[in-house]
């Protein structure tokens, strides 16, 4: 298939591109490199350095007639969304619609959409949070992702474009940007390597569901083959506190760094964990990496990067 990956130079998107190339698809990438890196680009993919809000998107689509959009391009920093909700909406809603409008005119048949689990569901009424859990986003980021999901239903009903929405838990792994995307695994790992203090917000009891990027890629490949439209969680169904995560990374690193605590962030969600029974039953997806294995692979990648940069 001819596939366009938005955000294909970023953390998750670049891993998806690699898998698509391995599977023999023709892949194009749109990325403005605001959060991604040239080093992440697969040389077998065609790269277009463009903002997803650009007027050039329509011309690119007109020329290449992509059948599938895998949409990873986004403003994905929750704290930035709170500080500047207009910018968040401009990228995550207007930019997304710019892609969809170009696509519907020039051959788009299917969208695989990178959404969010924790940020859409909000504080849980029950755990794990399945796809039927009420959606009560607590941040502009979560609101814009949910808005895009509603737009995808519109494009299905009005234009016949199928969509598979993947609601990710907290994704971590190699290539994660500790500076731009605020991934706590990347932040703790990079700080321990630099022997810089790691600060845990509040008491560290807040929990998240940490899913390795390789399992997220597998979910995208399964979604590509899925017939029709649907919504699936992608996670582990396991809660891990920030404090326990710190201790696990410290053990993998062999670090003697002591924990330090900062003030709790006002309004920070306290629990998040998503159920994966639906994606397992309907897509045949199965998690391959437990947290210890994923953290080891991630830490080793960061260590290799540090050696290369010396």
Percentage of the residues of the chain whose pLDDT score is greater than 70? 98
Quick one: which H or E segment has residue 233? strand 230-234
With cut-offs at 50, 70 and 90, classify the pLDDT of residue 147.
very high
Q: What is the pLDDT of residue 218?
A: 98
- Among 126-140, 177-191, 242-256, which stretch is predicted with the lowest mean pLDDT? 177-191
Q: What is the pLDDT of residue 82?
A: 87
Query: How many CB atoms are closer than 10 A to CB 282?
Result: 12
Of 106, 121, 126, 141, the active-site residue reads 141
Whether the predicted pLDDT of 282 surpasses 70: yes
With cut-offs at 50, 70 and 90, classify the pLDDT of residue 262.
very high
> Measured on CA atoms in the order 167, 172, 175, 178, is the torsion positive or negative?
positive
Alpha helices per DSSP H over 2-134: 11-22, 56-64, 78-83, 85-89, 96-105, 118-121
Report yes or no: 137 and 143 within 8 Å, Cβ to Cβ.
yes
Model confidence, pTM: 0.96
49: left (phi over 0), alpha (psi -120 to 50) or beta: beta
Q: What is the pLDDT of residue 182?
A: 60
Q: What is the pLDDT of residue 20?
A: 98
3-state secondary structure string, 161-203? CEEEEEEECEEECCCCCCCCCCCHHHHHHHHHHCCCCCEEECC
Quick one: which H or E segment has residue 149? helix 140-159
Q: Compute the distance between CA of residue 306 and CA of residue 190 in angstroms, rounded to an integer.
A: 9
Which tens digit of pLDDT belongs to each residue from 16-59?
A: 999 999 999 999 999 999 999 999 999 999 999 999 999 999 99
With cut-offs at 50, 70 and 90, classify the pLDDT of residue 180.
low
Concatenate the DSSP letters of all residues of 239-285 into one string.
-EEHHHHHHHHHHHHT--PPPEEEPPPTT------B--HHHHHHH--
Query: How many CB atoms are closer than 10 A to CB 251?
Result: 12
Percentage of the residues of the chain whose pLDDT score is greater than 90? 89
Active site residue 172: no
Average pLDDT, the chain: 95
Whether the predicted pLDDT of 267 surpasses 70: yes
Report yes or no: 30 and 60 within 8 Å, Cβ to Cβ.
yes
With cut-offs at 50, 70 and 90, classify the pLDDT of residue 183.
confident
Whether the predicted pLDDT of 308 surpasses 80: no
Quick one: which H or E segment has residue 303? helix 291-309
């Amino acid at each position: 298939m001819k596939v366009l990956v938005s955000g294909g130079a970023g953390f998750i998107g670049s891993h998806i591109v690699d898998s698509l190339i391995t599977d023999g698809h023709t892949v194009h990438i749109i990325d403005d490199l605001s959060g991604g890196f040239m080093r992440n680009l697969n040389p077998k993919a065609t790269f277009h350095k463009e903002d997803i809000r650009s007027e050039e998107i329509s011309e690119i689509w007109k020329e290449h007639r992509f059948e599938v959009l895998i949409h990873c391009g986004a403003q994905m920093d929750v704290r930035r969304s709170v500080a500047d909700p207009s910018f968040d909406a401009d990228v995550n809603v207007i930019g997304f619609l710019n892609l969809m409008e170009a696509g519907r005119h020039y051959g788009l048949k299917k969208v695989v959409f990178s959404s969010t689990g924790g940020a859409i569901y909000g504080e849980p009424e029950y755990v794990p949070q399945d796809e039927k859990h009420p959606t009560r986003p607590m941040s502009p980021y979560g609101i814009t992702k949910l808005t895009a999901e509603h737009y995808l239903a519109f494009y299905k009903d009005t234009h016949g474009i199928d969509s598979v929405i993947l609601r990710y838990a907290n994704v971590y792994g190699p290539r994660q940007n500790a500076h731009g995307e605020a991934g706590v695994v990347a932040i703790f790992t990079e700080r321990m390597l630099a022997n810089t203090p790691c600060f845990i917000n509040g008491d560290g009891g807040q929990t998240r569901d940490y899913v390795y990027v390789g399992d997220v890629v597998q979910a995208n490949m399964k979604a590509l083959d899925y017939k029709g439209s649907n919504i699936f969680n992608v996670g582990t169904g396991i809660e891990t506190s920030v404090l326990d995560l710190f201790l696990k990374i410290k053990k993998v690193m062999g670090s003697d760094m002591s924990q330090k605590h900062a003030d709790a962030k006002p309004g920070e969600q306290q629990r998040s964990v998503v159920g994966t029974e639906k994606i397992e039953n309907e897509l045949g997806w199965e998690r391959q990496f437990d947290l210890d294995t994923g953290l080891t692979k991630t830490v080793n990648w960061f260590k290799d990067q540090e050696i290369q940069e010396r």
